[in-house]
Amino acid sequence: MAEKQNIRSLELDVLKTFFTENGEKAFRAKQVFEWLWKKQATTFDEMTNLSVGTRELLNNHFEINPVTIAEKQVSNDKTIKNAFRLHDGKITEGVLIPTPKRMTACISSQVGCSLSCAFCATGKLDRLRNIDAEEIFDQVALIKKQAEEHYQTPLSNIVYMGMGEPLLNYKNVLKSVELITSPEGLGMSPKRITVSTAGIAKMIKQLGDDEVKFNLALSLHAATDSKRSEIMPINESNSLDALSEALIYFHEKTGSRVTFEYIIFKDFNDTLEDAKDLAAFAKAVPCKINIIEYNPIDEPQFQQADPEKTDKFAAFLENTFNLIVNVRRSRGKDIDAACGQLANKNKAAV
């Protein structure tokens, strides 16, 4: 027998053709799509409004390949970290971050990462493969279910800030957003979704050309080329000037405000002079700035900035330059679920 196809990689029209060629009504395709995306069925036997014969036909030709939770850890602050097992056995991670105002899913776009940012645990891993659109969708669906079951609260936000560089998996990331926002899928607003990039100028412009409706965040972390290249090798081929030009283009095309993420490190990028550099870069486009507390990853090169200095840094940006600034305190640190800590340390990945 021929190898079974992943049914969730097919477009609706292709599935309609399959049914008509096999003597079935074309509308069966829409029924199957509803089971796959709206109801998140993981087997064809769950599709109870299809006849036994139709389900058998599907079983003979297709597979669903759902993502499963291999391991779950709950932090003292109620953050939940998941080790997700993909259909080929590879493991990636996703996090549910509950706060009083929002319930956020932090999801991954790659197994591992190829960018080697010095401060990030994921950057120490090899990039094993891109994550398919339906596998990204599954991460969101599983975390959404956790939010409802554990905290009786609906999922409010999605951030592509887990493992990997989303813009190096461009096609799958955009397709996953389409599935997540579709009324036939999870029906979430694209304004509730943020895609975070380490900074690939060409692909930021492509987002503008595609006139995406979701939010864009740039992991900046230093606002001079010399400092940024020291901690983020990608800056050597995507300079701050190139990124600034790309962000201006993106904003002109989409009208969207950009978020700058800035992990603040002790004695590296935490002075008021650094804040001035950040303000000079940020003024290119309408934006907000998230100052992020550093989370240790057994890397002696970096230490967490003093909290008072962090607050002074943020206040200086707000008061002197009239910028919108949020200080993000870390969550899930005790289970290595905080920003920059996803490194497949769980038992499932061993």
Catalytic residues: 93, 339
The set of residues, in sequence order, having a beta carbon less than 8 Å from that of 270 and lying 6+ positions away, is 264, 305, 306, 309, 310, 313
Strand ranges across the sheet with 324-328: 68-74, 80-85, 91-98, 103-106, 157-160, 193-197, 215-219, 258-264, 287-293, 324-328
**Beta pairing, strands 80-85 & 91-98:** antiparallel
Given a contact cutoff of 8 angstroms between Cβ atoms, the answer to whether 153 and 147 are in contact is: yes
- Among 12, 212, 36, 13, smallest CA distance to 138 is for 36
| Token pair listed for 3 | 């190898």
Secondary structure (DSSP) of 179-196: HHHSTTTT---GGGEEEE
Q: Alpha-carbon distance 73 to 116, whole Å?
A: 26
Tokens in use for 182?
Answer: 């579709």
Instruction: Tell which residue, 159, 163, 245, has the closest CA to residue 199.
Output: 245
- CB contact at 8 A, 277 and 260: no
Distance CA 221, CA 218 (A): 9
